[in-house]
Amino acid sequence: MREITYRQALNEALKEEMERDSTVFSAGEDIAIYGGAYGVTADLWKKFGDDRVKDTPISESAIVGIGIGAAMTGMRPVVEIMYIDFIPLCLEQIANQAAKIRYMFGGKTKVPLTIRTEGGTGRSLGAHHSQSLEAWLLHIPGLKVVMPSTSYDAKGLLKSAIRDDNPVIFIEHKMLYNIKGPVPEEEYTIPIGIADIKKEGKDVTILSYSRMMLFSLEAAKILEKDGINVEVIDLRTLLPLDMETIKKSIKKTNKVIIVEEDTKTGGTGAEVGMKIMEECFDYLDAPIKRIAGADVPMPKSPVLEKIAIPQIDDIIREVKLITS
């Protein structure tokens, strides 16, 4: 199977969905002629023109507002917020409008809106461009939140997000764009809300997503040399969460570690861990472990930035502790 980058996979998904459905269009800052801050929308403007690939003003509230209005009137917009750090600027539109309109209109209208954004650390961009704010969005009923870790998942899940009749927040990690992975040339989609077992094991379950998924897999490979067999599950979708896959794994391993890049206090792992306590407590032989980002504004210094987020050695250490 061919291997393409995460960026190329997303670009293909957008292109294929725009070719398949004339109601799909993209809008955002510098996504047209420039091709997007991270190149995801490269060449789409040349193919589809101004009507379907639109550069917008520097106004996140306007970008999402455009998307909501278009979605309510029969289009399937894909809007881009350049950095997840700018989500607060359009949280009114996301939380109070996009997420609630279908409910408040009694199902008479829908909002098939995909909001693409990127987050995470790795480029030493400082506190305003390096956050992982996905946990904020998990608290909003009416949204779906997707965070793929591989090229294959990115393409399949983005296509599903565009076809979904509900607003989907699609979060891409800035350090994944150049990572290559196998992606078939034929048409495929991946259902939203289904986790994926990236590596089977019997001694402990690691739950992760996005870039930390790759760190977890690397740690699992190293731990194999010490005779520790780790099961690694990629959550892929944070909302809705695939508790069935999680339960089956914990029944088998009886131990679980959640690895996330967002800050530990009030983070994704807190919600996932509580769900495990409510639904899987009887299967646990050890306390749930969380490996998460430090509760600090993200430093600009590359050295300090690395210290502020989980590393492969941190995962290895915690796995050894919980399995000893």
Task: Give Cβ neighbours of residue 61 (< 8 Å, ≥ 6 apart).
Answer: 89, 90, 92, 93
The residue among 147, 182, 217 that closes a domain is 182
Q: Are residues 244 and 140 in the same domain?
A: no
Q: Is residue 64 part of a domain?
A: yes
Q: Are residues 299 and 165 in the same domain?
A: no
What pLDDT, on a 0 to 100 scale, did the predictor assign at position 298? 97
Q: Is residue 205 part of a domain?
A: yes
Cα 228 to Cα 209, 222, 319: the distances in Å are: 21, 9, 8
What pLDDT, on a 0 to 100 scale, did the predictor assign at position 221? 98
Q: Are residues 37 and 133 in the same domain?
A: yes
Quote the strand ranges of 183-229, DSSP E: 196-199, 204-208
Q: Are residues 52 and 201 in the same domain?
A: no
Range of the domain at 257: 196-323
The residue among 131, 157, 182 that closes a domain is 182
Say which CATH number the domain at 297 has.
Answer: 3.40.50.920
Q: Are residues 75 and 160 in the same domain?
A: yes
| Token pair of 148 as six digits | 């793929």
Q: Taking each helix axis from N to C terminus, what angle separates 268-280 and 243-253, rounded to the nearest 10 degrees?
A: 70
Q: Are residues 314 and 177 in the same domain?
A: no
What pLDDT, on a 0 to 100 scale, did the predictor assign at position 143? 98
Q: Are residues 112 and 176 in the same domain?
A: yes
Q: Is residue 206 part of a domain?
A: yes
Report, as ranges of residue numbers, the positions in the chain whose pLDDT lies below 70.
none
Q: Are residues 148 and 226 in the same domain?
A: no
What pLDDT, on a 0 to 100 scale, did the predictor assign at position 248? 98
Query: Scanning the structure block, which residue is given the tokens 């600027």?
Result: 89
Quote the strand ranges of 144-243, DSSP E: 144-146, 168-173, 180-182, 196-199, 204-208, 230-234, 237-239
Q: Is the pTM of this model over 0.85?
A: yes
Q: Are residues 48 and 146 in the same domain?
A: yes
Would you name the residues annotated as active-site residues? 60, 129
Q: Is residue 188 part of a domain?
A: no
Q: Is residue 44 part of a domain?
A: yes
CB 85 within 8 A of CB 134: no
Q: Is residue 187 part of a domain?
A: no
Count of structural domains, the chain: 2
Q: Are residues 36 and 167 in the same domain?
A: yes
What pLDDT, on a 0 to 100 scale, did the predictor assign at position 177? 98
Say which CATH number the domain at 109 has.
Answer: 3.40.50.970
The residue among 182, 215, 241 that closes a domain is 182
Question: CA–CA separation, 246 vs 157, rounded Å?
Answer: 19
Whose CA is closest to 239, among 273, 192, 197?
192
Q: Are residues 134 and 236 in the same domain?
A: no
Q: Is residue 190 part of a domain?
A: no
What pLDDT, on a 0 to 100 scale, did the predictor assign at position 247? 98
Please list, residue by residue across 39-71, b when 16 or more beta carbons sit within 10 angstroms of its beta carbon and e when fewer do: bbbeebbeebeeebbbebeeebebbbbbbbebb
What pLDDT, on a 0 to 100 scale, did the predictor assign at position 102? 96
Q: Are residues 170 and 214 in the same domain?
A: no
Q: Is residue 215 part of a domain?
A: yes
